Structure 1
Amino acid sequence: MIPSKTLALPHSFFPRQTFYQTLQAGIDSHILQYQAYTPSTYSDIVFRGAEVHPYNVISEAFTNLSTMLNRPQKRPTYYFLYFDRIDTTCHNYGPSSKQLDEAVDLCLNQMNQLFLQTTRHSTGKTLFMMTADHGQVEVSPYNTYYVNQQMPIINRYLKTNSRGHVLAPAGSARDMFLHIKEEYLETAVNELRQRLTNGPDQQAEVYLTQELVAQNFFGMQPPSRTFMERVGNVVILPYKRETAWWYEENKFSMHFQGHHGGLTPEEMEIPLLLMAL
């Protein structure tokens, strides 16, 4: 059994007040999400204040959403449907793949047949919004720059936990954040830039996180203290089609054909569809 003092309780690092709890002052909330991870420790906390409806396939989700939307409402209601198959397919096969085209077609056809056609001629008082949380860019698992393998000295520069183990990177293989000891900050950044930015392959750019904060990359308002404590103080931003990550067998690796987190237009620009129902 793991000693209790080594465990981190969910409420110690997840938000205490959710968006849906805020809405409870006058708006009901419903969430439809894939049943494989609903419920979960994460969703049980961040979905507090909403009624959650797990679904098995997207046709079930659109049918249930249509049914809920067409029934009489006692007060204003917010519905959120999350469909992850497009993102998953893009990760596994890449954004230019036939498999992705089929996943998108499936989603749009099901949405049209099972949701839009049954709600389109409603009262006009419902705003339908469709968007994505990010795009993706083509990558290859065969040319990932594994920082700890190709630059072993990085371990000397990294902060450690109470057990003396180096802190795992934050972010992803498209935005890799490292927790560097303050006394090695300048040295680590210079060496990373020498290898990744100024080297013959030119795979990535390296920044102090504070440089991005100063340029409002994390928003116009200052990032929260919690965010800054967790994110890491150095970030590696690979160029298009490149990735940089950490390797530990059966723990850390990069095996995707499509990825996101970087600053290319393909990753950052997203669609937004607005329609009155």
Structure 2
Amino acid sequence: MLNHASIDAVAATRSSSSFALPLYETFGFAQMPQLVRALCRGAASPIPGAVPSGRDAPKTVVSILIDGFGWSYFERFASELPFLRRVVRDGVVSKLTAQFPSTTAAQITTFHTGAPVGESGVFEWFYFEPELDAIFAPLLHSEVGVDALIPVTSRAGLFPARTLYEELTAIGVDAHCHQPRAYTGSPYSCATTRGATTHGYRTFAESLVDLRHAITASRGPSYHALYYEGLDSVSHGHGPGSEHVDAELRMIFAALEAELGAILDDPSVCVLLTADHGHTAVSPERTIYLDEEIPELEGWLRTSRDGRPLVPAGSSRDMFIYVRPESIHEAKARIETVVDGRASVWWVDELVGRGLFGRVTPRLSARLGDLLVLPHDGEMVWWSGGGRFTQQKRGHHGGLSAEELEIPLLAWRAV
């Protein structure tokens, strides 16, 4: 069934513009770790109506995150695909919002560690990291433009100190994380999946077989997190309305139906399926490159101690800009002129005050920057860097459109 309270709550966050606003309590992705904790303890769901009530704690909790599976994709296929029809008929489907920015970095860090974005401080593909005095790519664990990993030993403050897997292990829950083999052992994964038995896979079908085996092998309470990125890659490359995306979605849910059928029929198992964000269609040919349109902008930016401009940060759907105090008003006015009618330029402090990032700790506020450029539907604003950062994407995310921000939560537990 559809959780209509969630749909109404998300609809109520729509502003008068085309932007949606994120929820951090109740119907927000930030509550996903709380939901997992509650299910493992047999407590009430922090997301109202998201799972069947009045049941004992499940022996096994499964949380599947399909990167890029926004609410618009769910709506497009809800009546076609048997797996989705089954959940709509006999499970619960809720609408949530992602945290802002609507990025993998923000959500997957919360998914693994339990810390919301305002606490984790990990919010985008690129951002200024004070500890490194550089623009940092957290998922790659490298500085922007540097083809080398940052040494791990002295960088303990880059990520949250505790993970959800460690919390669950401490209360007797056997914790597992299934993710692409290329990611296992990376500095980011090692930091954010501590406490989990890690399973690396090469294909989605392989991940589901491994998941099924891990579930059946668990003797006591267990938690299994699975992350799949293929849909996101196809959406970036071909755009959300492409036949390539449709084919990928059909493959994903056919594999789920085929490989997890027996698991779905087990009343001791609760299966959750959600996403980190959706996708909106963009045209790379229309990208506005601020360094090309405003050559003097680089001289207005804050720099590292060795004089490197702190750029680029965020993404072409949510560009964060670090500006010298004496130049900030001139920079904002010039950017607004260049992007007029195609993007909005905001003071970051104003958006923090409005709750766009949830409850913000010093860890995040030190990384956020001074200005935020939010492109309108179909638009991108970025930094060329002499061609190093030229955009090629046909689908993207990071902003506040409904297509980017709204995501489904599918919950299933057999009777």
**Structure 1 residue 261: Cα displacement:** 0.6
**Distance apart, 1:239 and its partner CA:** 0.3
Partner of 1:121: 265
Query: CA offsets, 1:128-147, max 9 Å, x none?
Result: 11111000100111111011
**Equivalent in the alignment of 2:156:** 11
Alignment correspondent of 2:291: 148
Residue 72 of structure 1, CA deviation: 4.2
Corresponding residue pairs, total: 264
Which whole-Å CA distance do the structure 1 matches of 2:310 and 2:350 have between them? 22
Q: Which 5+ residue runs of structure 2 have no aligned equivalent?
A: 1-145
Cα pair distance change 1:63/1:21, threshold 3 Å: same
SS in 1 for 2:412: strand
Aligned to 1:230: 367
The letter of the residue matching 2:354 is Q
Match of 1:63 in 2: 209
Is the Cα–Cα contact under 8 Å of residues 176 and 224 in structure 2 kept in the other structure? Answer: yes
1:40-79 equivalence runs, <5 A: 40-74=186-220, 76-79=221-224
Amino acid at match of 2:202: N
Q: Which residue of the partner structure matches residue 267 of structure 1?
A: 404
1:29 is matched with 175
Return the match for 2:301 from 154, 158, 161.
Answer: 158
Question: Is residue 217 of structure 1 aligned with residue 356 of structure 2?
Answer: yes
Structure showing greater Rg: 1
Matched, 1:176 2:315: no
Match of 1:252 in 2: 389
How far is 1:39 from its partner?
2.2
Q: Distance in 2 between matches of 1:34 and 1:155?
A: 38
CA contact 1:10–1:41 (8 Å) conserved in 2: no
What is the CA–CA distance in structure 2 between the aligned matches of 1:39 and 1:139, rounded to whole Å? 33
* C-alpha displacement of 1:98: 0.5
The one-letter amino acid paired with 2:170 is: A
Please say if residues 161 and 167 of structure 1, whose CA atoms lie closer than 8 Å, have aligned partners that are also in contact.
yes
Task: Tell me the equivalent position of 1:94.
Answer: 239
What is the match of residue 329 of structure 2?
A: 186
Compute the TM-score of the two structures, normalised by the length of structure 2.
0.61
Secondary structure of the residue aligned to 1:148 is: helix
**1:136 maps to 2:283:** no
Could you say if the C-alpha distance between residues 249 and 191 of structure 1 is closer, same or farther in structure 2, counting changes exceeding 3 Å? closer
Per-residue deviation at 1:24? 2.1
Pair 1:11–1:253, CA change in 2 (3 A): farther
Query: Separation in 1 of the partners of 2:346 and 2:277?
Result: 22
Question: Structure 1 pair 24/84, CA: closer, same or farther in 2 (3 Å)?
Answer: same
Mark the CA change 1:193 to 1:250 in structure 2 (over 3 Å): closer, same or farther.
Answer: closer
Distance 1:10 1:270 in 2: 33
Contact 1:171 1:231 in 2 (8 A): no
Q: How far 1:252 moved relative to its partner?
A: 1.9
Secondary structure in structure 2 of the residue aligned to 1:176? strand
Q: Distance in 1 between matches of 2:413 and 2:270?
A: 5
Separation (CA, whole Å) in 2 of partners of 1:169 and 1:28? 40
CA contact (8 A) 1:170 1:231 kept: no
What is the CA–CA distance in structure 1 between the aligned matches of 2:211 and 2:375, rounded to whole Å?
39
Q: Sort the Cα spacing of 1:109 and 1:10 in 2 relative to 1 into closer, same or farther, 3 A.
A: farther
1:81-102 deviation line (CA, Å, top 9, x unaligned): 1110000100000000000111
Q: Aligned-pair distance for 1:7? A: 6.2
Q: Any gaps of 5 or more consecutive residues in structure 1?
A: none
Tell me whether 1:83 sits opposite 2:220 in the alignment: no
TM-score (norm 1): 0.90
Q: SS where residue 285 of structure 2 aligns?
A: helix
Kindly state the Cα deviation for residue 58 of structure 1 after the two structures are TM-superposed: 0.8
Aligned partners of 2:386, 2:193: CA distance in 1, in Å? 34
Is this contact kept in 1: 2:318–2:373, CA < 8 A? yes
Indicate conservation of the 8 Å contact 2:179/2:227, yes or no.
Answer: yes
Structure 2 counterpart of 1:209, which letter?
Answer: V
1:276 aligned residue:
413
- Whether the 8 Å CA contact 1:136–1:266 is kept in 2: the answer is yes
Q: 2:346 is matched with which residue: 207, 211, 218?
A: 207
